[in-house]
Amino acid sequence: MIPHGGAPAGARADFSTNLNALGPPGFLLRALRQAPLGRYPDPEYAELRALLGETARVVVGAGASELIHRLVAAFGGPVAVFCPGFGEYAYAARVRGVEVIVARDEEAFVQAMRRSAIGFLASPNNPDGRVFGVDFLKAAVGAGGLLVLDLAYAPLSEVPVFVPEGAVRLHSPNKAFALPGVRAGYAVFPEPALARRVRALAPSWVLSSTGEAFLRLASAEEARTWLSVTRPRLFAWRRALAKGLSRLGFRVVEGRANFLMARIGEGRIAALREAGVWVRSLSDKGMQGWARLSAQGPKRRRMLWEVLGG
């Protein structure tokens, strides 16, 4: 296991995950309770896959993390990763004894892709919220290895997210709808042959009936409308958070998603936790004193200011 965000049940405020703070929507929760749990799902998930893209190019899984591990198992290494980035990519490589090439800037990532079987990038990136540009992504996809573009936060991006042709698209709609307990995700491959390699490694019924219902409902009109209503509020909350933290003299990296990074110091991270306010320390990524905080409403921000002195 590696560190991830998430607060215990008794926490007063949770800034530590990047879930949409306005969710989950009631209509989705109600619909998920109707999932047919009394029978096995279709082992091919044929209807769902047809809904999510061209059937032969779609692979469903029990969340993006499960698919990340399967991708590494299918394509091997070396594995190129961007730093700072989501830790599960390197972890999936490490547990298989596969070499990891860590790139600390875009040029280094393109170089790393030349020597890699597979490379992972999230856009927007976790933890800094950056959205990668067209030229860089085209260079990365053409460099050699298979590029997996992790679109976990694309539905929560303030700007359009470019996806180059030839990349694998990895989707995890649970962030946008604040339903991380429903373990469901999917990947769309540029070619059916690549998808087959990853599908072949799944156990039977890898996706629960609830997960299947979630992926179907998350791509429906009602869900898309709900999301589009929440997004401007989340971005306004992120800006208010950035302004408050900057005013207190902390260095802030804002990015374009529903979260930001700030250097508030290890002591304050601990003091916040003591007060039941959880932020994601980035010390495990070599960023001592830095924390990642998601956009939250005014009531929760006040809890933050109580401890930080704003």
Ligand X SMILES: Cc1ncc(COP(=O)(O)O)c(C=O)c1O
Residue 261 or 308 with smaller CB distance to ligand X: 261
Residue 150 φ then ψ, to 5°: -85, 115
In angstroms, how far is CA 268 from the centroid of its own chain?
Answer: 26
Residue 126 or 258 with smaller CB distance to ligand X: 126
**At its nearest, how many Å lie between ligand X and the CB of residue 203?**
16
Residue 125 or 209 with smaller CB distance to ligand X: 125
**At its nearest, how many Å lie between ligand X and the CB of residue 41?**
18
Evaluate whether 32 touches 141 at the Cβ level (below 8 Å).
no
In angstroms, rounded to a whole number, what is the distance separating the alpha carbons of residues 176 and 172?
8
Residue 100 neighbours by CB under 8 Å, 6+ apart: 77, 78, 79, 81, 90, 93, 94
For residues 241-250, one letter each, b for 16 or more C-beta atoms within 10 angstroms of the residue's C-beta and e for the rest, the string is bbebbeebeb
Residue 41 φ then ψ, to 5°: -70, 165
Residue 19 or 98 with smaller CB distance to ligand X: 19
**At its nearest, how many Å lie between ligand X and the CB of residue 25?**
18
| Residue whose CB is nearest to ligand X in the complex, by number | 63
Residue 150 or 212 with smaller CB distance to ligand X: 150
Residues that bind ligand X (CB under 6 A): 4, 63-65, 86, 122, 126, 150, 152, 172, 174, 180, 185
Residue 78 or 84 with smaller CB distance to ligand X: 84
Evaluate whether 125 touches 85 at the Cβ level (below 8 Å).
yes
**At its nearest, how many Å lie between ligand X and the CB of residue 156?**
11
Greatest Cα pair distance, the chain, in angstroms, is 56
Evaluate whether 2 touches 285 at the Cβ level (below 8 Å).
no
Residue 260 or 308 with smaller CB distance to ligand X: 260
**At its nearest, how many Å lie between ligand X and the CB of residue 167?**
15
**At its nearest, how many Å lie between ligand X and the CB of residue 267?**
25
In angstroms, rounded to a whole number, what is the distance separating the alpha carbons of residues 176 and 275?
27
In angstroms, rounded to a whole number, what is the distance separating the alpha carbons of residues 26 and 14?
20
**At its nearest, how many Å lie between ligand X and the CB of residue 174?**
5
For residues 160-184, one letter each, b for 16 or more C-beta atoms within 10 angstroms of the residue's C-beta and e for the rest, the string is ebbbbeebbbbbbbbbbbbbbebbb
